[in-house]
Structure 1
Amino acid sequence: MRRAAAWLAIAACTAGLLAGCSRASIHQQESYVFGTRVEVLTWDASEEKSRTAVGEVLREFDRLHRAYHAWQPSELTALNSAIAAGRQHIPVSPELAAMLTDAKAIAATGDELFDPALGTLIALWGFHTDTFVPARPDPAQLAAAIQAHPQMADLRIADNQVTSRNPAVQLDLGGYGKGYALDRAAAILKARGISNALINIGGNVLALGSKGDQPWRVGIQHPREPRPLATLPLRDGEAIGTSGDYQRFFELDGQRYCHLLDPRTGWPAKGTQAVTLLITPRANAGTLSDAASKPVYLGGERWRDYAKRYGIDHALRVDADGKIQVTRALRDRLQFGEGITPSAVID
């Protein structure tokens, strides 16, 4: 399997997209969490203040990774085991209860196309492992998993307890957790007096403040070429999320099978190479940038309708043929790469 993180090039001196970047003004720390590279940059704060605050952020990322891992022992796997055993009123931490409540609401808004209940299907397709062997699932097992039709609507969450009416529900927060971690990082940095920062978790990016007298500038990765599709300035409180078939996938017999599964069919989605959403400043912008990109990606030709459901005006889609569709609001912010032109600009 090829792993190309949902990369958005960070336009700081380390990415080479802006000149004149002062090393005395920028602080950068990297780590590897959530199965991807994470990077936090701060601007115009002392080395000691930045290092302390970013260190706390990276420790929080590690905590979230361990607490909600989908296949290694965690609170989430313990909950999945209890659901599979048919237990009712399963106690969970207040944090997990809040995350599941939020994820359930996001799923309902998007016709359950964002579906963290699909853990069994994700495992059958081989995406619950760090040592991947490209193979299609056993047809009988796949058919049984599809027929069981697990979805977030099967869950009842109340008083920090979870009950599922469907024992086939197996939770995987991989399409939610990176965005949630962005929001947690922003809260920590603000609490530590960091006003200007850029947080990148494998291509899910959130900006705080600015980079001096310039906005932070990021690049949207081209889904088929090793270069940015476009770049744009990212303003205080904005977040960007991308879902694409180039992020985690394998090829077999000339076919590409990506990790984005369509809950209607149980198969890897087709018809779209990538979607990118820009979330304007609002509560939980990071979470929405991650989770909402799934129904927009899976929505196919209805992608704009799904973006509107989440109050998102800034969106871009690259279809299966490589044609670029972009909303007018986002088009006005973008600088496309050389030779790249959108085929359609829509309201």
Structure 2
Amino acid sequence: MEQLHVFGTITELRLRGADPDAAQAALAEVSAQLNQRHREWHAWEPSDVTRINAAFAAGQAVEAPESVVALVERAKPLSEATEGLFDPAVGGLVAAWGFHTSTFPIQSPAPTADQLRAWREQRPRITGVRVDGHRLSADNPRTQLDFGAMAEGVASEMVLATLRRHGVRDALVNMGGDVTALVGDGGRPWRVELRDPFGGRLGGVELRDGEALFSTGNYNRFRQSQAGARLGHILDPRTAQPARGAASVVVLHPDPVLADVAASALFVAGPSGFERLARRLRLGCAMMLTDENELLVTTAMAARATLLRDPVPLGPPLDLGEGCAGR
């Protein structure tokens, strides 16, 4: 097993049956790639993204590395598909809530009602970021990029491609709890645990070749309200407040980028918006546990996940297709 510290979390790589020389070469390249992306994408430590955000705040166009340009271009259609529930232009709001930190729980004051109202009235959007070759500019000086809701998906996609290129066919990549898998011909699936937002282990899922299991919840990165409620790091751009209603969301999909984005967007959508957004994104395998311990799940996800306890069903499973890619 190899461990790397990138994007403020631990990345673990487990390989099975790989040629030792090929495995060593693959791990060295993956390490270099992830460290490079860390220097380019980090939302608050000095990086290309923080340099770009400073230029946006000054109303200036700025040169950007190819990887950041690619993130912007991939983010735009995903933001539109989620009706803006996923939007990496909200970095300023994330900072205002104190979530640009690796130390939790947060002790700094929450933004005031006036600050949040001003942000809502002048809300920046990723669709307002213009790409001109390798130069980026924003139509709103409040635009601050934060790719936290898609960076691990894009990085996981890159890691799998690198492993395959080196002939590694059986591997598990765990980026802070978000997992992607390679399973060779005739190989056994990888067993992955599901975290229970109320403590302990909720259950498990077996991952097949090329599948990604991404989750988000209010159990790790959070702050406390004055009343003692736990406020998670996933923010609702419509209200400028931490998203309410969900305790955790899990998405299983062959596209790690979509799985990453969808998990965050479903968390923002909450229980009332779960079915509509899951259908809109054509997700076959998705699950939400609400903060009232109620369960929303698709039929394909229910067939794949083994739960160790029985949350209260919030209606019957949703038939969104037999496979995790949906229909």
The TM-score, its normalising length taken from structure 1, stands at 0.86
Q: For 1:306 and 1:340, locate their aligned partners in 2 and report how far apart those are by CA, in whole Å.
A: 22
**5+ residue gaps in structure 1?**
1-27
> Which residue matches 1:121?
93
Q: CA deviation at 1:62?
A: 1.5
Tell me which of 66, 71, 87 is aligned to 1:99: 71
Task: Report which stretch shifted further, 96-105 or 133-142.
Answer: 133-142
1:221-247 CA distances to partner (integer Å, 9 max, x unpaired)? 1111211x1212111111111121113
The answer on 1:57 being equivalent to 2:30 is yes
Which fold has the larger relative contact order, with Cα–Cα distance below 8 Å and residues 6 or more apart in sequence? 1
RMSD: 1.8
Q: For 1:308 and 1:160, locate their aligned partners in 2 and report how far apart those are by CA, in whole Å.
A: 35
> Which residue matches 2:83?
111
> Which residue matches 1:295?
265
The one-letter code sitting in structure 1 at the alignment partner of 2:92 is T
Secondary structure of the residue aligned to 1:299 is helix
Q: For 1:98 and 1:160, locate their aligned partners in 2 and report how far apart those are by CA, in whole Å.
A: 10
Q: 1:230 to 1:341 in 2, by over 3 A?
A: farther
Secondary structure of the residue aligned to 1:115 is coil
Tell me which of 144, 162, 170 is aligned to 1:170: 144
Q: For 2:141 and 2:65, locate their aligned partners in 1 and report how far apart those are by CA, in whole Å.
A: 20
The one-letter code sitting in structure 1 at the alignment partner of 2:47 is S
Consecutive aligned runs of 4 or more in structure 1 exceeding 4 Å deviation: 338-343
The answer on 1:182 being equivalent to 2:159 is no
Q: CA deviation at 1:338?
A: 4.3
> 1:196–1:208: 8 Å Cα contact kept in structure 2?
yes
Q: For 2:148 and 2:131, locate their aligned partners in 1 and report how far apart those are by CA, in whole Å.
A: 20
Q: 1:213 to 1:264 in 2, by over 3 A?
A: same
Q: CA deviation at 1:304?
A: 2.1
> Which residue matches 2:322?
none
> Which residue matches 2:323?
none
Tell me which of 103, 124, 136 is aligned to 2:110: 136
Q: For 1:341 and 1:37, locate their aligned partners in 2 and report how far apart those are by CA, in whole Å.
A: 33
> 1:43–1:211: 8 Å Cα contact kept in structure 2?
no
1:123-160 CA distances to partner (integer Å, 9 max, x unpaired)? 11111123442431233333322221111121222322
> 2:128–2:139: 8 Å Cα contact kept in structure 1?
yes
Q: For 1:197 and 1:69, locate their aligned partners in 2 and report how far apart those are by CA, in whole Å.
A: 26
The answer on 1:315 being equivalent to 2:289 is no
The answer on 1:337 being equivalent to 2:308 is yes
The TM-score, its normalising length taken from structure 2, stands at 0.91
Q: 1:180 to 1:157 in 2, by over 3 A?
A: same
Q: For 2:313 and 2:187, locate their aligned partners in 1 and report how far apart those are by CA, in whole Å.
A: 30
Query: How high is the sequence identity, in percent, across the aligned residues?
Result: 34
Q: For 1:58 and 1:220, locate their aligned partners in 2 and report how far apart those are by CA, in whole Å.
A: 26
1:36-82 CA distances to partner (integer Å, 9 max, x unpaired)? 12110111013333233123212221211111111122111111111
Q: 1:335 to 1:210 in 2, by over 3 A?
A: farther
The one-letter code sitting in structure 2 at the alignment partner of 1:288 is L
Q: For 1:310 and 1:159, locate their aligned partners in 2 and report how far apart those are by CA, in whole Å.
A: 29
The one-letter code sitting in structure 2 at the alignment partner of 1:289 is A
Secondary structure of the residue aligned to 1:56 is helix
User: Structure 2 matches for 1:20-99, cutoff 5 A?
Assistant: 28-88=1-61, 90-99=62-71
Q: For 1:55 and 1:137, locate their aligned partners in 2 and report how far apart those are by CA, in whole Å.
A: 42
The answer on 1:266 being equivalent to 2:240 is yes
Tell me which of 205, 216, 232 is aligned to 1:243: 216
Q: For 2:81 and 2:220, locate their aligned partners in 1 and report how far apart those are by CA, in whole Å.
A: 25
The one-letter code sitting in structure 2 at the alignment partner of 1:126 is G
